[in-house]
């Protein structure tokens, strides 16, 4: 196999997303991911023994190798290696980026890649005491940047961004309401796409609702001042879910029927840890330059909505057309299963650009996915829809 060839996404699926403690609360992250991996093979018509690697992102487990558990639960051969990535919110998309790089380097032909997260089943985190005999100390999150770098609370950092950009609480609420409205409109489509595993998993994102502006404005402010503060309506809720794609080489793609998303550019970028929400702007510009794509060329863009202000600023600074942004709603309308969220963006791009309903408009069109992570990181990819006849 020759190197330096572009990778192609030929199948993409996800589970429903459910808030922490909700419909998926009894399942471990690998239990959520396993049926997704199985379905991808069926969708693409590829035998399990053609898979070279399994790469899955996860942010909250902090140990073991849940990607290996998911691969074995999915019925893949024990001879197939599996790797778990942890770049926090970027993990799921970084797994896909790594898959594309393996294929581009000639090290793989077929890779299952994505992310999984169970806030509900994540282990309790504790530091061992440095004083003998004293009990361990619980903590909510690890450090994302060491001194002398700033390591702000992410909601507080987003609130500072909203104040700096003058984005009012009302404007953020309007963005959140629009996200729910798009997600509600996509419910019928999602019922045909979400993995239910024979009815064991739900067929809808349970957090999505008919959210009114009046209701959203009554949500309590959780960070920042009254004028520009972030509320429970404009911050994505903690959630459970899994998503993955099947990435293949151009050689493998040539032997398959049906369409795919060719990855034109993919990668990660670093930014100021004090302003993590801004990292996707630099990443997006770099990726569009590498793919020779302008914002006006993008038929679809998926930007993670961990916070309304984050997605609003990222889209505005990158001159993304609102009509093409987060077509099925975003994280505000479904929740944020940390390690899976970036992979969900890739699945949404696939469905937007390759579904039968969108194929005529999306033929040879381009799209982009972007996500930020704690510590000032961002990951993304630019893709192009490729339609071809079987054989």
Q: Is residue 180 annotated as a catalytic residue, yes or no?
A: no
**Coil, helix or strand for 75?**
coil
**Coil, helix or strand for 349?**
helix
Q: 333, 17 in Cβ contact below 8 A?
A: no
Which residue is catalytic, options 90, 110, 180, 336?
336
How many Cβ atoms sit within 10 Å of the Cβ of residue 10? 26
Alpha-carbon span 369 to 300, nearest angstrom? 9
If 0-12 CB within 10 Å is exposed, 13-18 middle and 19+ buried, where does residue 37 land?
A: buried
Per DSSP, 149 falls in state S
Element (H, E) at 262: strand 260-270
Q: What is the dihedral of CA 203, 243, 61, 230, to 10 degrees?
A: -80
How far apart, in Å, do the first and last CA atoms of the chain sit? Answer: 21
Two tokens, residue 272: 């100021």
Q: Is residue 90 annotated as a catalytic residue, yes or no?
A: no
Q: What is the dihedral of CA 37, 38, 41, 45, to 10 degrees?
A: -160
Which residue is catalytic, options 89, 90, 110, 180?
89
DSSP-assigned letters across all residues of 263-321: EEEEEEEE--TT-GGGHHHHHHHHHHHHHT--GGGEEEEEE--SBHHHHHHHHHHTT--
The residues carrying an active-site annotation are 89, 336
């Amino acid at each position: 196999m020759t190197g330096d060839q572009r990778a192609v996404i030929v199948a993409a699926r996800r589970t429903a997303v459910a808030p922490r403690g909700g419909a998926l609360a009894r399942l471990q992250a690998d239990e959520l991911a396993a049926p997704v991996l199985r379905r991808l093979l069926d969708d693409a018509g590829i035998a399990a023994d053609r898979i070279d690697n399994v790469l899955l992102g996860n942010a909250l487990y902090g140990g073991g190798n849940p990607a290996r558990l998911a691969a074995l639960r999915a019925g893949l051969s024990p001879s197939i290696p599996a790797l778990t990535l942890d770049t926090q919110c970027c993990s799921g998309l970084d797994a896909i980026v790594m898959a594309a790089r393996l294929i581009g380097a000639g090290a793989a032909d077929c890779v299952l890649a994505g992310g999984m997260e169970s806030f509900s089943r994540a282990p309790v985190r504790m530091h061992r005491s440095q004083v003998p005999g004293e009990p361990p100390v619980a903590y909510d999150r690890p450090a994302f940047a060491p001194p002398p770098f700033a390591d702000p609370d992410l909601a507080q950092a987003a609130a500072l961004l909203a104040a700096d950009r003058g984005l009012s609480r009302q404007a953020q609420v309007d963005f959140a309401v629009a996200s729910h409205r798009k997600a509600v409109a996509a419910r019928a489509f999602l019922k045909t796409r979400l993995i239910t595993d024979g009815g064991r998993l739900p067929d809808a994102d349970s957090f999505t609702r008919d959210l009114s502006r009046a209701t959203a404005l009554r949500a309590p402010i959780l960070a920042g001042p009254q004028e520009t503060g972030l509320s429970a309506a404009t911050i994505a809720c903690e959630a459970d879910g899994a998503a993955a794609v099947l990435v293949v080489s151009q050689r493998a793609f040539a032997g398959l029927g049906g369409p795919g998303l060719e990855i034109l550019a993919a990668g990660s970028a670093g930014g100021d840890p004090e302003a993590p929400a801004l990292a996707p702007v630099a990443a997006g510009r770099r990726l569009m330059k590498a793919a020779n794509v302008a914002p006006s060329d993008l038929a679809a863009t998926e930007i993670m909505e961990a916070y309304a202000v984050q997605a609003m600023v990222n889209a505005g600074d990158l001159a993304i057309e609102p009509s093409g942004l987060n077509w099925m709603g975003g994280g505000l309308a479904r929740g944020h299963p940390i390690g899976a969220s970036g992979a969900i963006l890739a699945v949404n791009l696939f469905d937007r650009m390759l579904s039968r309903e969108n194929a005529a408009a999306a033929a040879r069109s381009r799209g982009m996915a972007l996500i930020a992570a704690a510590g000032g990181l961002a990951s993304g990819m630019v893709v192009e829809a490729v339609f071809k006849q079987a054989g």
